[in-house]
Amino acid sequence: MISKNQIKQVTALHQKKYRDEEQLFIAEGVKTVEEILNQKPDIIAHLYASDAFIAKTNDRIQNTSVEYTIVTEAELKRISMQVNPNQALAVCHYFDTASTSSVLPDKNYLYLDNIRDPGNMGTIIRLADWFGFNTVFCSPESVDFYNNKVIQASMGAFLRTQVVYEPLAQTISKHKFKTVYGAVLNGTSIYKATLGPGLIVIGNEANGISNENLKLITTPVSIPAHGQNGTESLNAAIATGILCGEFFRQTQA
């Protein structure tokens, strides 16, 4: 049985202001919460879950001393950010994703320039994890990593990806990136260019890469379109997927 106080505390975390104040965020759903229990149980401050979920994950919960409250479907709905909440909601501590010791000059990394849609950011973190690009840099104005939709869309990849918010110039100088690729509409086709290690800058959904950051791009690249009169642009996460695939093919496959 959930208390009024708990409901108030959890729903406050729907807003970034209170997340930052409490240094807590929400992760939801059977698959996501199971991944947290398996990979980073220490970050769980409190787990709200159905009795079926608790029974199913009982071993992990006992081993890791996770504090939990069993909730009904109706109670879960009151604290969830989802239309159809699914059995489990974990209130988690912010954790250190920002240790960049493993950023290597012979690999590829993504820099997200003002990505605003949380679904896009989560999807990009998921695909970066797939291709082994284990650090994602973001401009300071990009959407909050701890936004519930980022966490959901990353499908657990948020646990394995270092996410660093800093200006592009700082990322480049700190890690001595020599090649800075930028996804633009009139660059060299990625299928003609010889792609190598370096930073890959992805622009904002509506406006692309900012003018300030465009100056720091050494190698503008594009995904070629089939013809005229078609779609003017691709979804930012789709474009990132196609770029990452081609970088992966040319450098690692």
**What would the x/- binding string for its own copies be over residues 176 to 215, using CB under 8 A?**
-------------x-xx-----------------------
- Closest to 27 measured CA to CA, from 71, 73, 87, 70: 87
State yes or no: residue 162 binds its own copies (CB under 8 A). no
**Interacting residue with its own copies among 30, 70, 81, 155 (CB under 8 A):** 155
- Closest to 202 measured CA to CA, from 148, 152, 252, 127: 127
State yes or no: residue 28 binds its own copies (CB under 8 A). no
Whichever of 166 and 205 has its CB closer to its own copies, that residue is 205
CB of 169 to its own copies, least distance (A): 28
**Interacting residue with its own copies among 47, 71, 246, 247 (CB under 8 A):** 246
State yes or no: residue 226 binds its own copies (CB under 8 A). yes
Whichever of 3 and 102 has its CB closer to its own copies, that residue is 102
State yes or no: residue 225 binds its own copies (CB under 8 A). yes
CB of 212 to its own copies, least distance (A): 26
**What would the x/- binding string for its own copies be over residues 102 to 121, using CB under 8 A?**
-----------------x--
Whichever of 70 and 242 has its CB closer to its own copies, that residue is 242
State yes or no: residue 156 binds its own copies (CB under 8 A). yes
Which residues are near its own copies by CB under 8 A?
Answer: 119, 123, 126-127, 129-132, 153, 155-157, 160, 189, 191-192, 223-227, 229-235, 237-239, 241-242, 244-246, 248-249, 252-253
